[in-house]
Amino acid sequence: MDCSLTPDVPECSVEVGTPPSTGDGNSGGEHNGGSNTGGGSGGEHEGADGCRYIVIGRDDPPAGARQPGAWYSRHCINDGGASERLPVWIADAQSPDPAVLARSAISRLDLPVPAIRANPAPPAAQLLNVPTWLWLEGPSYRARSATASVPGLSVTATASPSKVRWSTGDGASFTCSGAGTPWRAGMDPAVASSCSHTYKVPSNGQPGGVYEVRATVTWEIGWVGGGTSGSVDPVTTTATVPLRVQRSSALNGAG
């Protein structure tokens, strides 16, 4: 897998194998010997039959093969739970449906856990009746992409964060359309941000003397490739942090 990262959109290009949907005279056949362990381009793919196909070599094609291809190690779980490893020859022209390749790309998106930040910064206590600024650190709220490829076809899946659902531990919850506004030195901590919450009850009566704050990010996922495109159901990622809330007679702007 060849991955190149950028600050905004990390991308991976994944070479995957192409299992046949059904056996035929052009692609079938077990490999019984020869130099089948070298020269492969690498890659792995989950076929429609539920088996995994891993490239092991491109040399010594079977008799009757009419086009270039590769030997794949076929990994299947049978009824008894054992794993079979039966090499099969698969022609390069047997490209999968783009939607099948999209599932491979989507599975490699590696969505980040939300990085919750607050002002005042924990473990400092939040102040009663003063807005607590809440936001997510930038890298945990940015679009991410991954690409799965076979010869002649590439499909790119992209996950984009669309909203954050906050639960503040005191019974309140709200949704922000973005990551929130980071507090910076010089800002007025007494002014509410685009995504903040004002506590009215101290946390000393809670387990551990803290409120558990939860952030849940919703990701919209789509894919494009092979002259078509599609989308799948949104997914979520979640993180929590403990916040201590106490009474104070003065504003504290420490970040």
DSSP string, 191-222: S--TTEEE--S-STTSGGG-EEEEEEEEEEEE
Least Cα distance to 243 among 139, 114, 116 occurs for 116
Ordered per-residue pLDDT tens for the chain, 255 residues: 333 333 333 333 333 333 333 333 333 433 333 333 333 334 666 665 566 778 888 788 887 777 777 888 777 765 555 566 667 777 765 557 888 889 999 999 999 999 999 998 999 999 999 999 999 998 999 999 999 887 678 899 999 999 999 999 999 999 999 999 999 988 987 899 989 999 999 999 999 999 999 999 999 999 999 889 999 999 999 999 999 999 975 544 444
**Residue 239 CA to chain centroid, in angstroms?**
15
Instruction: Return left, alpha or beta for 253; rule: phi > 0 is left, psi -120 to 50 is alpha, else beta.
Output: alpha
C-beta separation of 71 from 88 below 8 A = yes
Q: How far apart are the first and last CA of the chain?
A: 40
The angle at the Cα of 230, spanning 227 to 232, to the nearest 5 degrees, equals 155
